Structure 1
Amino acid sequence: MMGIKTIGWVGLGAMGAPMALAAAEAGFDVTAFDLSADQMASVAPAVAGAASAREAAQGKDLVGIMVATGPQLDAVLFGEGGIAEVLSPDTVVMVMATVGPDAIEKTKERLDHVTTHLVDAPVSGGVLRARKGDLLMMVSGAPEDTDLARPVLDALASSAPVVGDVPGDGQRFKVVNQLLCGVHIAVAGEALALADSMGLDVNQVYEVLGAGAAASFMFGDRGRRMVDGDHDEARSALDIFVKDMGIVTQTARGVTQEAPLAAAAEQIYLRGRRQGLGRKDDSVVFRLLLGDMD
């Protein structure tokens, strides 16, 4: 198989759109499809638009899928108008969404009769880093497939280590990543809510503690938005952590591993969704924990 030159892209959400642009700017011929016409327009003309997911995928060397959930992945591949029917035995399918190890393993089983070239490469890093090609991607798959996908991975990520030879191992790494991220966001909100309830200046708390041992990436990033009340523009929607913490707790149960902090954080995100905050930025957990949203 020759190197990757053409990419079919399905999913132009908050992360998918800047990633597709990064791939195009790295010199790949990218054709994309998304259900949102606005999202399609947002990446033009650098990324060509297709009338359907099948059209985007047909004849491409690699198809990248950046949807939100396991059921969406299944629908893109095998549902009505699914792309599996237009893939060739040489097509590399790269799943970059966080869908959990079970979803990837089921996808591999169903896809094997079409193409065996499945690369599992969930991403982490946020919208700004996606646009710069500066993501972390946790990559797994057969060595010949991850080697073939390497130029694309390097266009999208500053760090894309291969963490396993079996699709699903990348998702397992992402489960651990999301456990840490989800708990860190929740505890940042809890800490700042406590500071506020004690009458402290939360901006000063953020500045002082952010320079010490209590600092974390999420405290620095989401903490700033918590202090500023910057929740309406969802750079990372609360709904994403409803989904991802669900994957974390489900996966933990599957291996009979206690995950009490993940379970507690999951309940905070679920409460936010029940209160209609799912499309808000996940930093809104600060207001939620203060009781301002009740």
Structure 2
Amino acid sequence: MSTSAYPSTSTPRTAVIGLGAMGLPMAQRLAGAFPVAVFDIAAERRALAVEHGATEAATPAEAARDADVVVLAVRDQAQVDGALFGDSGAAATLKAGAVVVLTSTVGPEAARATAAALAERGADVRLVDAPVSGGPTRAGNGDLLIVVGAEPAALEAARPVLDRLASTLTVIGDKPGDGQALKAINQLLAGVHIAAAAEAVALARGLGLDPQTVIDSLSQGAAGSFMFADRGPRMAQVYGDDADSVEVRSRLDIFVKDMGIVTGIAKHAHVPVPLASAAEQLYLLGERAGLAARDDSSIVTVLSPRGEGR
């Protein structure tokens, strides 16, 4: 595939499909630099993007019709398939030379299957596997960590969009699936760190210590981690008077999905991941306890329920 197959422009026409916790701030960030069309099933989310200069579309197909770059920011592979190949899916209107940037965490095999399905359409459309990390605030500030697997020409076409969103862009390989593999390792560490933070806060409560004091102290030392410093205060908030107002920055069921991807690909690679497996079970317990739509910091209540503690 020659580079000329992909129109190169510093201001690509862009579509963002999926305006959830990450998709909306990414769309708002992109709309400050490029012509952006957006689609989400929720009208209020579309309206929030329009306030920042985006153009509203009624379907994924309409959003993608004139796009050079289509950004998928949906939850899982089922939503990827629906956004691209379902009724009024974007694949029906993708023009030759367009690139699809997959920012969701779906796993290597799913990314490769999506790339193959696009290639079968015969429209000279390629997938840029580019899962993102960093959370909504960093997405809105263009401060994301993005790991990429893509053909060089496709990556070049998507680079203005990726550079607008990322402060750290790592090209890990030249084919879809490579980015997902590195993102899975990221999620292994993140998921285990959140679970470890929950154990620490639960033990602090069991020993009669104030969780917030413990978090403030240990976050400054060798035992600290980004996840402990970030999730810890929300874990402490769970036990306060404003427990029901804990902001949902990352739903717990996202880690049910992501840790399942981690343990699945580890099994396929014959690599033992005992800590990741234990963390996966903790998130499954949280989901069973009705916490799926809560912030993932609420996992601490599985270990130390509200109303208990010394």
**Fold-level match, TM-score > 0.5?**
yes
2:281 aligns with 267
2:103 aligns with 96
The code of the aligned residue for 1:144 comes to: A
Counterparts of 1:102 and 1:199, CA distance in 2: 47
The code of the aligned residue for 2:270 comes to: T
2:212 aligns with 203
The answer (yes or no) to whether the contact 2:149–2:174 under 8 Å persists in 1 is yes
Deviations 1:39-68 (A, max 9, x none): 111111311100111000002111110000
Deviations 1:172-227 (A, max 9, x none): 00000000000100110011101110111222211111111001000000011111
The answer (yes or no) to whether the contact 1:287–1:293 under 8 Å persists in 2 is no
Counterparts of 2:150 and 2:49, CA distance in 1: 29
The code of the aligned residue for 1:117 comes to: R
1:35 aligns with 41
Counterparts of 1:163 and 1:101, CA distance in 2: 13
Counterparts of 1:40 and 1:59, CA distance in 2: 18
Counterparts of 2:27 and 2:291, CA distance in 1: 28
Instruction: Describe the SS at the equivalent of 1:93.
Output: strand
* Residue 54 (structure 2) pairs with residue 47 (structure 1): yes
1:193 aligns with 202
TM-score between both structures, scaled by the size of structure 2: 0.91
Equivalent pairs counted in the alignment come to 293
For residues 37-186 of structure 1, the aligned pairs below 5 Å read: 37-45=43-51, 46-112=53-119, 113-186=122-195
4+ long deviations beyond 6 Å = none
Could you list the runs of 5+ residues in structure 2 that have no partner in the other structure? 1-6
* Residue 19 (structure 2) pairs with residue 12 (structure 1): yes
* Residue 232 (structure 2) pairs with residue 223 (structure 1): yes
Counterparts of 1:228 and 1:211, CA distance in 2: 19
Task: Calculate percent identity across the aligned residue pairs.
Answer: 48
TM-score between both structures, scaled by the size of structure 1: 0.96
The code of the aligned residue for 2:306 comes to: D
> CA RMSD for the aligned pairs?
1.4
Counterparts of 1:5 and 1:91, CA distance in 2: 10
Counterparts of 1:209 and 1:105, CA distance in 2: 42
Alignment partner for residue 251 of structure 1, among 255, 265, 273? Answer: 265
The answer (yes or no) to whether the contact 1:119–1:139 under 8 Å persists in 2 is yes
Counterparts of 1:260 and 1:36, CA distance in 2: 39
In terms of mean alpha carbon deviation, does 143-152 or 122-131 score higher? 143-152
The answer (yes or no) to whether the contact 1:31–1:49 under 8 Å persists in 2 is yes
Q: CA deviation at 1:285?
A: 1.1
